[in-house]
Amino acid sequence: MPENMAQKIIRIGSSVGVTIPKYILEEMNLNVGDHVRMEALPERQRITIETVPPKHDEVDPKLIAWTDTFIKRNRTLLDRLSKK
């Protein structure tokens, strides 16, 4: 895949944004909802984006999804255990 791919700034409601191609998300192991930090470097006409580790008080959305699935699959057993 191209390393330096030109993207167009697009309007998103009353804001603007730049899309991130899927292959870059995969290479960077990023997902929708992940937090990133942006830095403007106007003297170089550059914007950098870097990943930000989740805060300790934030729960990983993948863990929440897994937990929801586990509860749905084991609802009867969990109800029985809660009554002991």
CATH number of the domain that residue 50 is part of: 2.10.260
Residue 4 domain-assigned (yes or no):
no
Q: In this predicted model, what pLDDT tens digit does every residue of 19-32 receive, in sequence order? A: 999 999 999 989 88
pTM of the model: 0.53
Residues spanned by the domain of 71? 10-82
> Is residue 1 in some structural domain?
no
Angle (CA) 7 13 16, round 5°: 30
CA distances from 39 to 16, 17, 58, 73 (A): 16, 15, 23, 44
Tens of pLDDT, residues 42-57 = 999 999 999 888 776 7
Domain count, the chain: 1
Is residue 46 a part of any domain in this protein? yes
Q: Is 3 among the domain residues?
A: no
Give the chain's mean pLDDT: 88
